[in-house]
């Protein structure tokens, strides 16, 4: 029986053959939205559980609200058990290297022949084409698709400081699954969905590609960009604190000048329009910077907010754990971990019918739900 969640995907069953970030993100989204997501782990558990360093938070971040079943899909017995379980589900997720699921007889073509209702989502490095058999990582495609070039200073490509394409790939996988479920309601048949890192990243670069196609000029890296706005930068304030300030129209520029007591800049006819200010942007930023150096962040921020000027402190991830808005809005909530401790997790950035899809279950222990899930299969007995 399905869990009574009152969530939109209640009654949808998903079997997940994934690891690391991309596939688990897709499964987490579906689980948060009410689907029963069954994570298949190898004997000993998903190795993502024990990653060190920057990977230490992967498993806890992207595997909530799931059930854990241990099946060794490298064995014929495990493959048949997994296929039986697939037959009881609506959706399959996988993000292993190209060809691995086919080797195990768990690829789309093999399973769809038995279960035509099946929706099968593969998360890969590349969609079909010349690169499709390459192995990819987030950093690989960030370099291939222009993101590192656009992020770092000229000659110093710099990756984004998060697994942006892995997370985005899981999101697009989930979007495809939701569309496929809707189509299956009309046709009764499932389909294969593919989401890929490289194509994700080219979408992130699409605006810069279009800029080139429209102007014939190669877009420079963001640190070397020609800004569309005169005041749109990070300023150093008193005590070397930093604050981003953006005044993106003439009215906001006038208000900013009033807030920081620079009537001379507000009344200068040479600075009357954004286009004029962009022409003298370096000199203008220097003048603003001299004044802003005299302000303290805690004094200036409430004044900017009251005046309606966009601003942002340069926040570190560890500071977000105590972010007032994140905590008070319910976007950061407690979750029991697989070792019985409690951690804080970030929820999906969605409000649905006045509530945030939240944490319903503790993070599963390795194989915690094996007996429960496999007992549902006809003729299957667990030890």
Euclidean distance between CA atoms 343 and 337, whole angstroms: 7
Of 44, 49, 45, residue with least CA distance to 62? 49
- Cα-Cα-Cα-Cα torsion 34, 38, 44, 48, nearest 10 degrees, comes to -50
Question: What are the two backbone dihedrals, phi and then psi, of residue 356, each rounded to the nearest 5 degrees?
Answer: -95, 125
Question: Cα 276 from chain centroid?
Answer: 38
Task: Please confirm, yes or no, whether 166 is among the known catalytic residues.
Answer: yes
Longest CA–CA separation in the chain, Å:
84
Euclidean distance between CA atoms 356 and 286, whole angstroms: 44
Question: What are the two backbone dihedrals, phi and then psi, of residue 97, each rounded to the nearest 5 degrees?
Answer: -60, 155
166, 264, 268, 338: which one is catalytic?
Answer: 166
**Other beta carbons within 10 Å of 264:** 10
**Tokens 């498993």 — which residue?**
59
**Do 250 and 256 touch, CB atoms closer than 8 A?**
no
* Contacts for 153 with CB less than 8 Å, ≥ 6 apart: 221, 223, 224
**Other beta carbons within 10 Å of 171:** 17
Reported as type and span, the H/E element at residue 277 is: helix 274-279
Euclidean distance between CA atoms 41 and 16, whole angstroms: 9
Report the SS3 class of residue 345. strand
Residues recognised as catalytic? 166
């Amino acid at each position: 029986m399905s869990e009574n969640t009152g969530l939109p995907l209640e009654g949808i069953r998903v079997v997940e053959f994934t690891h690391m970030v991309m596939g688990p993100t897709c499964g987490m989204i579906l689980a948060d939205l009410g689907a029963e997501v069954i994570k298949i782990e190898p004997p000993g558990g998903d190795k993502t559980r024990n990653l060190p360093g920057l990977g230490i938070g992967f498993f806890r971040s992207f595997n909530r609200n799931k059930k854990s079943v241990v099946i060794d899909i490298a064995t014929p017995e495990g493959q048949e058990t997994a296929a039986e379980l697939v037959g009881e589900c609506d959706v399959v997720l996988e993000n292993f290297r190209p060809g691995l699921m086919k080797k195990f007889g768990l690829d789309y073509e093999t399973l769809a022949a038995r279960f035509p209702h099946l929706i099968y989502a593969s998360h890969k490095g590349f969609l079909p084409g010349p690169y499709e058999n390459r192995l990819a990582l987030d950093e690989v495609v960030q370099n291939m698709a222009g993101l590192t070039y656009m992020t770092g200073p000229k000659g110093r490509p710099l990756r984004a400081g998060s697994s942006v394409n892995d997370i985005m790939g899981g999101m697009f996988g989930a979007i495809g699954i939701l569309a496929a479920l809707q189509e299956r309601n009309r046709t009764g048949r499932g389909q294969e969905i593919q989401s890929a890192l490289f194509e994700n990243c080219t979408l992130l670069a699409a605006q810069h590609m279009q800029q080139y196609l429209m102007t014939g000029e190669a877009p420079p890296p963001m640190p070397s960009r020609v800004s569309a706005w005169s005041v749109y930068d990070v300023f150093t304030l008193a005590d070397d604190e930093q604050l981003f300030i953006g005044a993106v129209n003439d009215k906001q520029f006038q208000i900013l000048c009033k807030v920081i007591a620079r009537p001379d800049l507000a009344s200068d006819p040479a600075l009357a329009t954004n286009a004029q200010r962009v022409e003298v942007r370096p000199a203008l930023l220097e003048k603003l910077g001299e004044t802003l150096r005299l302000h303290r962040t805690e004094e200036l921020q409430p004044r900017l907010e009251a005046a309606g000027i966009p601003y942002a402190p340069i926040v570190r991830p560890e500071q977000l754990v105590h972010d007032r808005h994140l905590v008070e809005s319910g976007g950061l909530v407690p979750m029991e971990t697989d070792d019985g401790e409690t951690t804080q997790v970030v929820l999906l950035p969605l409000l649905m019918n006045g509530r945030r899809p939240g944490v319903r279950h503790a993070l599963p222990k390795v194989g915690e739900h094996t007996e429960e899930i496999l007992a549902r299969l006809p003729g299957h007995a667990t030890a």
